[in-house]
Structure 1
């Protein structure tokens, strides 16, 4: 369990309220945020030297600091910090000047939703730039190691561009009788191929360069320096050498094991049931296709063919009969594809087709051709005739494709979206992946899934111990809600709460309180002095009917009210300050305890204590991430001291190793929590006395 890395926000503004508002916006959008204000040049310089910043929000005109001065200082220090200007009145001339000076945007003051979108965009862009710099450094290291390996490799390796040798290692030169590999740099590869094989070789190279051949091997006779024939097996791969696109050639002299190696390679790439390619081989070829698209701008697509209602088919004809259906459909798909298309079985009832040199309209048309052929096809199973349909999702491969895994996932999602199309509720359709349309439908599907989980009581509660370092009584756990996904994996609320309606959030909170109360009652009946932290959403702060309902629940369950500790985030409390004030006072009157979580991200976090009663304060997890530095430990100790001065019990989460425990022991913290102590569990069976 790891805390999300906090966004480092440097705000150059004379208004602390404005800074708090922007910080709250980011936190409400699900981003841990640590913000600091700079109102003069000395503070700005100190902050820039103090740590790495992700975004700078800056008013263009301030009494002690101008936007131009801020940007000049950032540029002087050579920092990559996207700077966003604010101004009350903006015109096109001002915007042009701001962008020319190096700002990434100029946003009207007070347009907070606009500001949020710009900040999130620049965070994403900054992350990509950092990843690019890291990747470039790793690439340089890899190229150095690769060059050493190439020169000393026993395999014969050369790089070819426009038919000429760019590089050849000593092993390559040795096969053809050359003493110096540099002598090959003036010799075309074609001249080294036996004359009778040159025609086949030209066709192979043409198809290989066009991506029309699935095989990267070519066998022929080659000639050494003395004109003597050398039986060779060449293996080709696209590559770059000295930043130039080229072809890598590896040559092995043919031996008696060549046929055996070829057969073993073929077997390892086949699906045993259908004889088509298997998922592993498909993923390898998909990776090559995506890399080629990114490097050279080529186009391609995946057609993800999902047999509709295959479970019912297995019930109707049995497992063996279903295997016959899969084999028959697989052979039909292969017969309808071009020779250069790669067809694989990638799941029990799923086929994938890799289409080279294919754009959106072509891929959709081809998928429709496959869909129609399958829907009209009759499969003979014993004495029965079976007819099946399929849902086909299409995802494009182009220069914007990020990874093979993502492309395959898009095709998978598109195949499931077919059943959302009008008149295709049972499948039998084609859909080209469209992220905007899928996002809307995903939200609807998520709401329906959560509603169903509440109705059928299939949500999951986990419990993670919260350890008291001050030897006080009571066993504390935090209740953690999980939604169980279709593949039986647990989904954390942080991955779905932002996408559901306020009404559904309130329903979830009621479900959590009710079922936590039941588990708490069972635990206390067994003699445990157990107390549970219960996380509530921002919607519960504004839910006036929650307190009367909670009072009835406590009376009916006969639970001691102090055993329930209701926990809100700092951001929610700040954004709904008046409601939070009323709610926390009312909870205290009921005898319940109150905790504030993700504390310390606000500009002045202690100001919250002037308005809201709380018994516990859990610091933001980003503080724990920084304990490996002196500055990070000092920041946490300062925060813990402030919490203690306000007479609140402090909690530090995400304690992941023994070193952190040792550091926290002397820091004054009251409670700690994390995987080093114990991860979340379905049972409350932690041995607190063993600490």
Structure 2
């Protein structure tokens, strides 16, 4: 949103922003009522407000924004950075200002203000997500069977029901006014005081603490206490998790291991894998690990097999396949049952080492017969393969790549392997880019850019037949659309050559036609900013004896606004050759009709 009394100056400011590659969808207000109505009904990221003007002064803009209660930053546009202008901005409650006359300052200030706005929006979202998470956690704590309390400066600030039951307290409010020291056996008090002092200074022990605690009725008992950092209502505290002493450490270890395992296959389960994958990604990103490859294995036609065998026999098949995979690859690797019919294998080392392993297991599975109850059958597997590298950001990114590679392998047929090698993919991208460059330059040299013609019919009737020219690139039997090659051409400075080839072909088509035709030809900003283009165009028209009025050059409105200074003299020169000019996508600017005063539009 721009608040400015001078429409031309507002357009100039927007043009500066577009030239700086800042996307804008502008609107303009000049009075308080229109500003209030617009802000109430539309989402606005920022307001650029002209200072030292009376129609809609800065304090009115600021009051209007404050009344609707939205976080919309206001940037005061000052004619000069002086004491009076800055004082007006500050007194109005506006924290951001810049000089509209200094382009660099204008652009940088808007970028900084918008970045701060995005940060605030993200922070609000994170706070909302955190609030939701804390509510879920509070619900889980309340229903947890573990005795948990939050303690600050030795006092209870939260206790769950299991904690109250553990110490035989009936009233949570009574527990809240009971210091933790009152729950400790007399012999443990000195050590506990030291522990609480250490906690207050930020020293929280990582290991479990064996303590002798005291219930409300005075009965003493042995317990194990685990400490961890926590917060309650934004205030830091310490979580105390109290458990009876472990009778059998080995049994506890086995139980923890069982929680991480899939009961059918003995492989690790999905929840363990998520944490393990995150740890491996972080290790590779920090340089602590050289690399890991992941193999994503799916039993082909698994759903069809399950319908034929039944769920019970399918489970028996999976329980036969899983140990076979482990035996073929080697027990030293990490094996995961990721889904009903999908396994993931984590392999140490680079992807080059994993490829022969994938080929080996694929062949071994294909040649083996598996049991599914009373039935014996052979199966095939499809494999997706990738590698964790330093550029990998999250575990989810790795999984998405694996799933895509599996889809690619399935597209090839059953029993196939698809490999995503990040380094190789980068090489392929560069090679593909070079291929496009070669294709475009070859098309220019060999006249493989062809024109299609779409009629433009006048509703009022016209003796001249108008056609829109649509450029295509021929590559053998294939016809390539502009969306596929224009971007590459712009990035590599080939777009002006394409434009000139299109103009040549258009002039040739007009010359060869026995009808009274005129062609609309789209031109890029690069061409319409090139001082040599009108000279070249004049030569082409003279050589073909074609009148310039048969050509209508067109360019988008946004380009005219953003590159007005460069384009304007070129358009006047083209008009001098009797060529016509049209604005494409007219109406997308702040006040499109103003352009008609500055350009000789036909």
Q: Structure 2 length as normaliser, TM-score? A: 0.51
SS across alignment from 1:34: coil
1:73 maps to 2:48: no
1:259 maps to 2:266: no
Cα RMSD, aligned residues only: 6.2
Q: Measured at CA, do residues 198 and 175 of structure 1 come closer, stay the same or move farther in structure 2, by a change above 3 Å?
A: farther
Spell out the pairing of 1:615-626 with structure 2 (5 A cutoff): none
1:570 offset after TM fit, Å? Answer: 3.3
In structure 1, the residue matched to 2:17 is 26
In structure 1, the residue matched to 2:590 is 603
1:480 maps to 2:483: yes
* Distance of 1:546 and 1:194 partners within structure 2: 96
CA contact (8 A) 2:557 2:583 kept: no
Q: Measured at CA, do residues 303 and 146 of structure 1 come closer, stay the same or move farther in structure 2, by a change above 3 Å?
A: closer
* Distance of 1:255 and 1:580 partners within structure 2: 84
* Distance of 1:56 and 1:231 partners within structure 2: 62
Instruction: Report the number of matched residues.
Output: 413
Q: Measured at CA, do residues 536 and 481 of structure 1 come closer, stay the same or move farther in structure 2, by a change above 3 Å?
A: farther
1:159 offset after TM fit, Å? Answer: 0.6
In structure 2, the residue matched to 1:112 is 103
* Distance of 2:207 and 2:439 partners within structure 1: 53
Q: Measured at CA, do residues 249 and 200 of structure 1 come closer, stay the same or move farther in structure 2, by a change above 3 Å?
A: closer
CA contact (8 A) 1:172 1:181 kept: no
Q: Measured at CA, do residues 197 and 49 of structure 1 come closer, stay the same or move farther in structure 2, by a change above 3 Å?
A: closer
Spell out the pairing of 1:529-544 with structure 2 (5 A cutoff): 538-543=525-530
Query: Which of 218, 222, 236 matches 2:208?
Result: 218
Q: Measured at CA, do residues 178 and 475 of structure 1 come closer, stay the same or move farther in structure 2, by a change above 3 Å?
A: farther
CA contact (8 A) 1:23 1:602 kept: no
1:258 offset after TM fit, Å? Answer: 1.5
Q: Measured at CA, do residues 168 and 79 of structure 1 come closer, stay the same or move farther in structure 2, by a change above 3 Å?
A: closer
1:42 maps to 2:33: yes
Q: Measured at CA, do residues 97 and 34 of structure 1 come closer, stay the same or move farther in structure 2, by a change above 3 Å?
A: same
* Distance of 2:260 and 2:187 partners within structure 1: 30
Q: Measured at CA, do residues 181 and 459 of structure 1 come closer, stay the same or move farther in structure 2, by a change above 3 Å?
A: farther
* Distance of 2:240 and 2:286 partners within structure 1: 31
* Distance of 1:591 and 1:89 partners within structure 2: 43
* Distance of 2:17 and 2:592 partners within structure 1: 16
Instruction: Note the alpha carbon deviations across 1:348-385, whole angstroms, 9 max, x for none.
Output: 479xxxxxxxxxxxxxxxxxxxxxxxxxxxxxxxxxxx
Greater Rg by CA: 2
Q: Measured at CA, do residues 259 and 109 of structure 1 come closer, stay the same or move farther in structure 2, by a change above 3 Å?
A: closer
Stretches of structure 1 that go unaligned for 5 or more consecutive residues are 1-8, 288-301, 309-326, 328-344, 351-392, 394-403, 406-447, 462-467, 484-492, 518-532, 554-564, 615-645, 647-691
CA contact (8 A) 2:146 2:242 kept: yes
Query: Which of 227, 236, 239 matches 2:227?
Result: 236
Instruction: Note the alpha carbon deviations across 1:392-445, whole angstroms, 9 max, x for none.
Output: x9xxxxxxxxxx97xxxxxxxxxxxxxxxxxxxxxxxxxxxxxxxxxxxxxxxx
CA contact (8 A) 1:193 1:223 kept: yes
1:218 offset after TM fit, Å? Answer: 1.2
* Distance of 2:27 and 2:438 partners within structure 1: 39
CA contact (8 A) 1:155 1:171 kept: yes
CA contact (8 A) 2:75 2:95 kept: yes
Spell out the pairing of 1:167-566 with structure 2 (5 A cutoff): 167-185=158-176, 186-188=178-180, 191-192=183-184, 206=198, 216=206, 218=208, 220-225=210-215, 226-232=218-224, 234-253=225-244, 254=246, 256=248, 257-262=251-256, 280=275, 283=278, 303-304=286-287, 348=349, 455=434, 457=436, 479-480=482-483, 505-507=492-494, 538-543=525-530
1:264 offset after TM fit, Å? Answer: 6.4
CA contact (8 A) 1:159 1:246 kept: yes
* Distance of 2:119 and 2:83 partners within structure 1: 29
In structure 2, the residue matched to 1:56 is 47
SS across alignment from 1:236: strand
Q: Measured at CA, do residues 481 and 72 of structure 1 come closer, stay the same or move farther in structure 2, by a change above 3 Å?
A: same
CA contact (8 A) 1:194 1:229 kept: no
In structure 1, the residue matched to 2:562 is 575
1:132 maps to 2:119: no
Instruction: Note the alpha carbon deviations across 1:126-171, whole angstroms, 9 max, x for none.
Output: 2223333344444444444443443333332211223332211111
SS across alignment from 1:167: strand
Choose between structure 1 and 2 for higher RCO, CA contacts under 8 A separated by at least 6 residues: 1
CA contact (8 A) 1:222 1:230 kept: yes
1:508 offset after TM fit, Å? Answer: 6.5
* Distance of 2:428 and 2:170 partners within structure 1: 70
Query: Which of 148, 156, 181 matches 1:157?
Result: 148
Instruction: Note the alpha carbon deviations across 1:41-76, whole angstroms, 9 max, x for none.
Output: 333333333423222222222353323333333334
Deviates more, 1:114-123 or 1:220-229: 220-229
Q: Structure 1 length as normaliser, TM-score? A: 0.45
